[in-house]
Structure formats: C-alpha cells, structure tokens
Structure 1
C-alpha cells in the first residue's frame, strides 16, 4: 500500500499470515465442521468408539466426546474454540459434549449455505440469537417436573447416560450405585460430585463387583505389624514432607577435632529428629499419612506411641483426606499443632493381609468412594468415564428436578416450534431460524445413522408421530417411533439447554470473524557451533 512520498505503508506485520472476508469465514467453518465430523460417529447409544494412542503408546478406547477432543492435538484456533465447547458442556452439565459439538458443526454448515446465497453473517448472528432464546423457552415448557426423591426415575436417568458406553451389561447395577452415591452426599438440596465422590479402580473381578464404599478407601496399609489396624475417633496428621533422619553427607564440610566430636554431632542430629517426631506425637495424633518417604527410625517412634502410620500416599488421596477430615497438609513438621489435625470416626484395615485402609465418618463431609472393578485397565478406565457422566446427570436432575424425553423427542419438539416461530418473523432472520431448527434435528439424524437406520424415513416418522405423541422418540433397537417416557428413556433438562447455549454461542463467535491474523511458526536462528549448549564443557 502506498504511503507518504510513494513509500510503502506497512500496517500488518509481514510475518503474520492474514486471511480476510469469505476466505477467513470459510476456513473457520471448515475447521469447526472437521472437529464435529470426528466425534459424530460416537453420538448415541450405538455410536462407535475411538482408539487414542499417545506418544508413550498408551491406548484409550472411548466414545466420550470430551475425552476424545481433550486427547487430540488440535492446532487450528477455530477448532480449539469448538473443543472449548466440549469442556464448557462437561463443566456445566456433565454430559452432552458430543451433542454440543455436532450441533455447532451443523449450525455453521447451515450458515455457510445461506451465506453462499447472499445472506449476510450479521443477519445469521441475529437470527441464531433469536432462535436460541426461543429454543430454551420451548425446552423449559416441554420439560417434566420430577420428584428428586423418586429413586426409580433417577436410576432411569443414570441408565440412559450409561447406555452405549460399553457397560450396558451392568447398567442397572452402575445406575443404582450412582443414585445411592448422590443421596449419600446430598446436603440441603445440593450435590458436590467432584469433591465428595472418590473414584478408585482395581483390576480384577468383573464390572458387577463394582461397589459403593461409605468413606475413603486408599491402597495403603500400616507400615508395621505391631501398629493398630483399627482406630476409633481418629485424629489424623497429613504430612506432605519427608519424615527421615538426614545423616551428615560425606561431601558436607564439617570441621571436627576428634572422633568423639563427630559422634556427638551425629547424636545431636538424632536428638533433633526425635524432637521433630515428638512434635507430631504431642499434637495428640493417632494416625499419620505421609505423602513422601518415612524411614524406619520414624516408624519406631510411631509404633511405640501406638499410632497408625503409612507413607507414599498419592497426592490425590492426600487432597481427598484433607477435604474430608479437615486436616491441613503439613509441609513444615516443626510448625504442626493440634489445630492441624483432621478427624474420622474410624480408620480400619479390615484384613490384616489386605493392602487397603478405610477411613470413615467425618464431621463436615459426606465423602463416598466408588470402587470400580474390571478385567483390565482399559475396562476400569472406561467405567470411570461412565461414572463421571452418569453421576453428573443424576446430580443435574436432583438439583433441578427437570427432565425431557430422550431418543430425539426434545430435538423434534424444539425444531417444530422453531419452524412455527420462523413463520411469524419478517426479514431474512427467518431463514436463520429455520436453519437453526434443521441444525437441532441433526442430532436425531446422526443417532439414526449410527444405528444403521434410514435417516430420511426416521426423521419423517419422528415428525409425523410427534404431532400426536409429544414424547415420541426413536427406539434404537427396532427403529420404531415410540413413547420415550413409557420406555424410561429420559435426559436432564440442563444437558439439553446447555448444549444449545454452547453450540449457538460458538457458532455466533465464528460467524462474526471476517479477518484472521496468524503468526507464522519460526524456527530458532542458527548459532555458531561454539555457542551451541550441547558443545559446552560441563566438567
């Protein structure tokens, strides 16, 4: 561009890669659609699994959208925005991540076709915002209020989430565990799944051996056979530091005049260590959990004090113990006081030969442990992801008390309402609202496709039956359109509303971008061989 005195006027750094106008929009829409296409085949009870292999060769088999997108090494910025949808959906609703991503991809696909016919992106943005507001209103009116104490309904909710995740054979058993866990940790109508439910995994047995434990279970045992295996009214110290007697290193500089002087110094070290151990004992603690090394010299004193002690406890177990018992994590043992101790009604190692300790009965926490059993690590890892989704959807229904029929029934209801709403809107926003309705119908369309049914026939049957039966949805086994409430196929309202919000917001963000500046990747500049750090003499 010419500037003053015919000199070129540089506005944008030439090292930046710039894409503008329809090219930028098309590129962004294409990347978002590519992400949606990756997870599309996993949607629904009969969705396919993905095999993810990391650089270490570890294998993950899953059809969980959030896990798949989290494990992918995505580079394109717009694609990363779509991945954020899954994270937001997971955080806010606990499930429906694949639905949100597929819907976002469909919204952008419909928008691209309208843009090619001359509709301006700004019109689409306005129309999508209007459609979102209307869709949420329709869903709220369509929702069914349920009693949070309806155990059977909550188990149906959990079972719907579990179906299609390689654990249907134990679906009823896992669903019951989910509901029992939610009831156990409930407090004043609220449920804290992330903090109050601990997931533990053990290879061995079958999925049906999975069980709910009242309290915390950690794979540790008392370090000495003369230590107590059962402690009532436990006062717990959590030490996040080494409990070791640090002898003088042979490389340390110590000026002594005789062997007696050196022996005296070593005795002083031992005395200081005994004082440190005594500080823990003097707090009144009768159980010590240490996250790091604990030597035999320390064990001797704890045994003499009739205390339970164990070491190398995992960081996540230490955090759970801290949250549940109220104990502080001590990093400087010399500063420990009785106020830092936590409380549990019982610490117990049920079997003397079992490397497992149970901590039960807390003052201010309701911590429960779900112990997952399975024939391999792949099985237990998959069941952990199943529980993560199922627990959160049961939590959503317990707190909100609202459900909608599943099997695509809610999507058809919203789509039909949006088409009726669009006919009352003047201007090109009407086209955007109709496109929004078609994008929402993409979910039952993909579910039918993943089940192997004819997509067109399925949608026609769903629309026709829905006019007379408001709860009509797709039977994934037969392809028939049946009443979803009668079949017990229901979803939390929160999952559906959040999916629409997330998908709409991300689509609108992409549509508003008409100029993209991207820094080019640059390699490090070459240096002379003598300045290469690999050639330095490190001796």
Structure 2
C-alpha cells in the first residue's frame, strides 16, 4: 500500500537584499565622511606638483612660522588651545603647540616631527629649530620661483650649514663661573614664559639639585626621569626641594604620628583587607546558621590581627602600602605609633625603594628587619589644605622638587619650564660650551655667512645669503615679542657687531652688550641648526605630493 504522507514543502530562505544594501550604503557613507574629514585636515584632495606644490610649502611653513614666532623667547605670548574634548591648554612650548593643532599637511607633519626629535634629543631648542626650518623652506621657495634649481638651493644650504657649524665651534667657549651657568639655565626657564621671580628661584634650585645628583650618581650617569621627582601644585609662588622623596599623600588616619627621626620603612604590595564580606566572593559557600556566620567573622578578625602583629613584629616605624588596608589594621598600627600610607602609586613606591634600600614585599613574605629600609627623617606637613610627606634620604641619587604656582592654568607651563631648565643644567655638566644668547649667536653667524657667500661662485651664493636671512629670523622674533621695532633692533645689533661687541636682546627689551649676560648651550644650538637645515633640504627636494587612494 502506497504511503499517503506528502513530503514537506521545501522552504527557501532568501537573504534580505534590502537590509544588506542599506548596511553597505551606511558603511560607504561613514567611510566617505571619514576620508573627507582627513582630506580637509591634510588640505590636499588630489596630487600636487609644480607651482601648486611650491605654494603649498610656502603657505604651510609661513603659517607654522607665524604661529611659533609670536611665542618665541621669554617675552613670547601663550597660545590658548581648546582640544576636541574641550580641554583648555595654555602653553608657549613649541612641541605642545604643534601637537595640539589638528593639521595633517605633509609639510606641517614634517615640522612636527622635527620638534619631537629636538625635544627627545635635548628637551629644548624646539622653537628655534622649527622657526629656522620654516624660514629656510620659505626662502628656498623664493629662489625656486626665481629660477634656481632645488638641488642648487640644497647644495647652497649645505655649504652654509658646514660653515655655520665651523663658526659655532670657533665662537663657543666653556662656562667658567656660576653666573654664566646660571644665565644659561635661567634663559631656559624663562623661555616658557615663567614669572621672572619664580624662574630665578627655580634656577638656583635646579643647579643645586643637578650638581648634587652629579656627585652622587655612579660614573656621572644621570637619568632625570629616574633621579628627580617633580610636583606642581596651585599656591605660592614658591619652590621647595629635598634630598630624598616628596609625596603628596595623607596618613591613613589623622591620629597617627607624623614625625620620625631615622625611621625604619616597610613597603607592601597589594591589599591588606578582605575584598568581600561574604564567605566566598563566588557565593559557592553559605552560612547555614548564625553560629557559622559569627565563626567566619571571628576568623577574619584573627587573620587581620595576624597581619597587624606581623607588621608590628618587623620593627617598622612607617608602612607604605600599594593597596587598601582594613580599618581594624589601621587602628592597631595607630595605637602602636606606626604611621601608615595606603593606596599609593607603584611608581612612587619604586622610587622610595630605590632611595631607601627597602624591598617591596607582600604580607605573606618574611618581614625581617634587615629587609626594611632606612631614612634620615620623615615628616608629614600640611600646606595649602593638602598633606605632603617629606622623606629625607642623604647620599642617595634621588631628589624631589615641589613647585607652587598661583594660577592653575600655568601649571603646564611650569612643568615645561622645569623640564627645560633641568635638561639645560644636565647638558651643562656634560658639555660646558656656551654661545651668546638673545639672538646674538644667530646674528653673528648671519653676518659671517654673508662674507662667506662672496667667496662662492654660481647660484649657491644666493642660497647662502638666504640661509643668512633665515638665521636673522631668531633675533627679529625676540625683538618683536619684547615690544621693540625689529629693524631698529637689528640696526643696533649690527652697530655693536661692527665695534666687536657681543650684543643681544635681553629681558628689559633692549639691545645690550654689557651685563646681565644671556647665554645658550652651544650643543643645543648646533643640534637645532643641523636639524633645521636637514629638514628644510628634505622638503625642498620633494617634487610631488600624492594621496594614497
């Protein structure tokens, strides 16, 4: 008998073509919007070459030059930048300004990379290098427009660089007195627009700190990031420093002892408390009656009491804990006169360990007295409604600088000024060669390069002359920002130069050849000139900019 059961009809499920098409269209639209946004930031929509390329270089370098020129020197103006997340940045630092502006043009990106490399190499001279590079590119573009081949411009620039480097080697001299070293570091601090009074105080502190570390560091090796801790706070203005470590931390309890002489220090990692009030954080164990719950709580107390007894038995006077600490342990330690700090940064604990010889341990380790660290003194001080712990450790290569700045938005500028001052001081102890600051060295080089250009034949002579013109952008920018007439200032410097005097532009907004002297580090000046020239030559050799599709 044949089966009467009919086979089930086959149902074919077709993909939703409309939904797939819509999803693809949305994806393409988002990609196109992103691509268009990037093209706007780059400023280029199609391949650029010839006269259009020259115009792009001239426009981009001119904008960067104008942007940094007004912020150059101790009298330079600040830039107030609001980034995409509405964070306000007030700065006159060249690298920071270039990083914050949202422009991806190849010429601007090249100048950004120049600023980063200068900052990484020596921590200073970024604006000098970028302003000089932008001026060299702009002057090279003028020559190219007048029929000079780009390779001829590059050859002339390299000849000028070799001669300028040779002249710098001849004109630099070693810093012989504290006043000359002080003038170099003060110029670096003032270059970020720091208040003169605070900058002078900071300069004295930086020189003492670097000189002391230079004596304590093995074989004269100095790592500013490892050997120096810097704190900036709103208040003051004032500068404190300590041979040891300053931490902006408060004791775990207000009733703890705050002063110790030659204390023993214990550093612990991880928490000293139970993270859950349950029998098991996984909730896989339960207390079936009240007696079991009380038993569990008593066991917790016994364990915590054991932790406290172990710390007390170690003989430590001060405990630094990276994690949180149970209040019951805090109470026991406070009764025994032991000072406790909790929830500390691991980086600070590593510095403290290095300075005091303390091993970073966990509570399960053997807390033997020989594994503890020692300090000469420890004091907790409250200042401007904030607690600070001063840990004095002599004859160890670690120092701390605490800077108080009245204006909150100036804290970043203070950080930049301290960084430049420390880098300049560290460079000075490696190489004490200095040159005239305040635009004096650049003006002298420009005058001697003009004489050198007369000895050349061919169109390279024009390139050397434009190189000299670019060097004069440095003293001109200093004069403008000091409120002087740039032409009058250049004429005064030229008159002093003709009399054989080392003239420069000082803080008073005058051209002076007598005290107070202004000096720059010769090593940073050389690096800035070499880096700027190489950057300009690489850009002038570009004949086309293409976008990758």
Partners of 2:61 and 2:312 lie apart in 1 by 60
Q: Is the 8 A contact 1:110 1:439 kept in 2?
A: yes
What does residue 365 of structure 1 align with? 397
Partners of 2:210 and 2:533 lie apart in 1 by 31
What does residue 485 of structure 2 align with? 454
The verdict on how the C-alpha distance between 1:61 and 1:275 changes in structure 2, with shifts beyond 3 A counting, is same
Partners of 2:347 and 2:333 lie apart in 1 by 24
What's the offset of the Cα at 1:404?
A: 0.9
Higher mean alpha-carbon deviation, 255-264 vs 383-392, is at 255-264
Q: Does 1:313 align with 2:344?
A: yes
What does residue 172 of structure 1 align with? 200
SS at match of 1:181: helix
**Which aligned pairs between 1:96-135 and structure 2 lie closer than 5 A?**
96-135=125-164
Partners of 1:319 and 1:79 lie apart in 2 by 40
2:212 to 167, 180, 184: 184
Partners of 1:274 and 1:305 lie apart in 2 by 13
The verdict on how the C-alpha distance between 1:413 and 1:201 changes in structure 2, with shifts beyond 3 A counting, is same
What does residue 483 of structure 1 align with? 513
Q: Is the 8 A contact 2:165 2:526 kept in 1?
A: yes
What does residue 84 of structure 1 align with? 113
2:68 to 16, 25, 39: 39
The verdict on how the C-alpha distance between 1:28 and 1:301 changes in structure 2, with shifts beyond 3 A counting, is farther
What's the offset of the Cα at 1:325?
A: 3.4
What does residue 252 of structure 1 align with? 283
SS at match of 2:387: coil
What does residue 235 of structure 2 align with? 204
What's the offset of the Cα at 1:64?
A: 2.6
Q: Is the 8 A contact 1:325 1:342 kept in 2?
A: yes
Query: Over the residues paired in the alignment, what is the CA RMSD in angstroms?
Result: 3.4
What CA deviation, in whole Å up to 9, does each residue of 1:67-122 have, x standing for no partner? 32333333334312212222222333332222111111101101111222233333
Q: Does 1:436 align with 2:467?
A: yes
Partners of 1:135 and 1:227 lie apart in 2 by 64
What does residue 25 of structure 2 align with? none
Q: Is the 8 A contact 1:247 1:269 kept in 2?
A: no
The verdict on how the C-alpha distance between 1:204 and 1:333 changes in structure 2, with shifts beyond 3 A counting, is same
Structure 1, unaligned runs of 5 or more: 1-13, 521-539
Partners of 1:418 and 1:340 lie apart in 2 by 64
What's the offset of the Cα at 1:413?
A: 1.7
Q: Is the 8 A contact 1:244 1:297 kept in 2?
A: no
What does residue 288 of structure 1 align with? 319
Higher mean alpha-carbon deviation, 273-282 vs 110-119, is at 273-282
1:152 to 156, 170, 179: 179
SS at match of 1:73: coil
What CA deviation, in whole Å up to 9, does each residue of 1:509-531 have, x standing for no partner? 322333434346xxxxxxxxxxx
**Which aligned pairs between 1:349-498 and structure 2 lie closer than 5 A?**
349=380, 355-361=387-393, 364-367=396-399, 369-475=400-506, 477=508, 479-480=510-511, 482-483=512-513, 486-498=515-527
Larger radius of gyration: 2
What's the offset of the Cα at 1:318?
A: 3.7
Partners of 2:498 and 2:468 lie apart in 1 by 16
TM-score (norm 1): 0.81
Q: Is the 8 A contact 1:107 1:435 kept in 2?
A: yes
What does residue 222 of structure 1 align with? 251
Partners of 1:114 and 1:41 lie apart in 2 by 26
The verdict on how the C-alpha distance between 1:265 and 1:163 changes in structure 2, with shifts beyond 3 A counting, is closer
Q: Is the 8 A contact 1:94 1:495 kept in 2?
A: no
What CA deviation, in whole Å up to 9, does each residue of 1:208-248 have, x standing for no partner? x3233332222223323564433444444444533322235
The verdict on how the C-alpha distance between 1:467 and 1:56 changes in structure 2, with shifts beyond 3 A counting, is same
The verdict on how the C-alpha distance between 1:455 and 1:230 changes in structure 2, with shifts beyond 3 A counting, is closer
Structure 2, unaligned runs of 5 or more: 1-31, 40-44
Q: Is the 8 A contact 2:72 2:477 kept in 1?
A: yes
- Number of residues of Structure 1 aligned to a counterpart in Structure 2: 499
The verdict on how the C-alpha distance between 1:286 and 1:476 changes in structure 2, with shifts beyond 3 A counting, is closer
Partners of 2:136 and 2:508 lie apart in 1 by 29
Higher mean alpha-carbon deviation, 407-416 vs 181-190, is at 181-190
SS at match of 2:118: helix
What's the offset of the Cα at 1:310?
A: 0.7
TM-score (norm 2): 0.79
Partners of 1:428 and 1:226 lie apart in 2 by 80
Partners of 2:396 and 2:292 lie apart in 1 by 53
What CA deviation, in whole Å up to 9, does each residue of 1:311-333 have, x standing for no partner? 23345534543443355666x65
Partners of 1:326 and 1:71 lie apart in 2 by 41
Partners of 2:477 and 2:122 lie apart in 1 by 21
The verdict on how the C-alpha distance between 1:447 and 1:190 changes in structure 2, with shifts beyond 3 A counting, is same
